């Protein structure tokens, strides 16, 4: 049996259902909208597991599901050494979002990461603590800043409403996922003119240990 993990609500679920429907496999939620059980029609030996998108990486690695749909950002952030356990089967072409670094729009002396590095040094000298960057993507952001040799900053954890941390003065900058940038602008923030830390999209992932003939047959059926 191939257990397919799919985000349990919202646009990500609907677009996943559409993606599979286009390939002849009909996924649906059984019963009411509140019930997290699902059905699969058009494929043998596949069952649907509805999960929070954030839990799919962990469940995939643990082998409690064989296939899963989630963002590349979540796999890379949550699973250290993910390539050793997980196969990226195919990007699905929706759920696009960039992980970016944003600073106050009013900082007219800050366009790029070099500016931020210099501002962080001044800030630390003036305030006696490191410039704070609010994020929930600790590993990705830290690795990116380390690769660019940024010093004098600290990450502060923010699991939601991250754009508000600057106005609340619990952070000086943020690193978060954005698709349109509208929330950033509404909070008087601007994106640094750098390549995004990560370009993420919804992607079909498989547990490497589950890549058996059954799995290959199913992926074949999907045209992969």
**Interface with other proteins, residue 139, by CB under 8 A:** yes
**Interface with other proteins, residue 209, by CB under 8 A:** no
Instruction: In angstroms, give the least distance from the CB of 106 to other proteins.
Output: 5
CA 1 to the chain's CA centroid: 27
Instruction: In angstroms, give the least distance from the CB of 23 to other proteins.
Output: 28
Identity of the residue, 40 or 143, whose beta carbon is nearer to other proteins in the bound complex = 143
**Interface with other proteins, residue 181, by CB under 8 A:** no
Is-contact 37 16, C-beta < 8 A?
no
**Interface with other proteins, residue 127, by CB under 8 A:** yes
Instruction: In angstroms, give the least distance from the CB of 48 to other proteins.
Output: 29
If binding means CB under 8 A, how many residues of this protein chain bind other proteins? 44
Q: Which residues contact 68 (CB under 8 A, 6 or more apart)?
A: 4, 5, 6, 51, 56, 57, 59, 60, 204, 205, 206
| Choices 36-44, 50-58, 105-113, 214-222; region in contact with other proteins by CB under 8 A | 105-113
Q: How far apart are CA 156 and CA 85, in angstroms?
A: 29
Instruction: In angstroms, give the least distance from the CB of 207 to other proteins.
Output: 14
Q: Which residues contact 36 (CB under 8 A, 6 or more apart)?
A: 8, 29, 50, 51
What are φ and ψ of residue 172, in 5° steps?
A: -100, -20
**Interface with other proteins, residue 123, by CB under 8 A:** yes
Instruction: In angstroms, give the least distance from the CB of 72 to other proteins.
Output: 11
* Among residues 1, 126, 182, 186, the one that binds other proteins under rule CB under 8 A: 126
Whose structure tokens read 């002849």? 24
């Amino acid at each position: 049996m191939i257990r397919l993990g799919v985000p349990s609500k919202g646009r990500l679920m609907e677009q996943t259902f559409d993606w599979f429907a286009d390939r002849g496999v009909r996924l649906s939620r059984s019963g009411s909208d509140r019930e997290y059980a699902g059905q699969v029609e058009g494929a043998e030996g596949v069952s649907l597991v509805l999960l929070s998108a954030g839990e799919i990486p962990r469940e995939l690695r643990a082998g409690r599901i064989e296939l899963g749909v989630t963002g590349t950002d979540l796999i890379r952030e949550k699973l250290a050494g993910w390539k050793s356990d997980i196969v990226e089967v195919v990007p699905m072409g929706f759920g696009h979002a960039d992980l970016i670094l944003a600073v106050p729009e009013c900082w007219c002396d800050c366009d790029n990461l070099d500016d931020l590095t210099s501002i962080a040094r001044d800030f630390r000298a003036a305030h006696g603590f490191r410039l704070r960057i609010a994020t929930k993507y600790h590993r990705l952001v830290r690795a990116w800043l380390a690769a660019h040799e940024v010093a004098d900053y600290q990450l502060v954890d923010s699991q939601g409403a991250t754009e508000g941390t600057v106005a609340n003065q619990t952070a000086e900058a943020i690193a978060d996922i954005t698709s349109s940038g509208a929330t950033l602008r509404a909070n008087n923030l601007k994106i640094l003119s750098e390549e995004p830390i990560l370009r993420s999209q919804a992607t079909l992932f498989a547990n490497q240990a589950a890549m058996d003939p059954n799995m290959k047959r199913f992926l074949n059926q999907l045209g992969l």
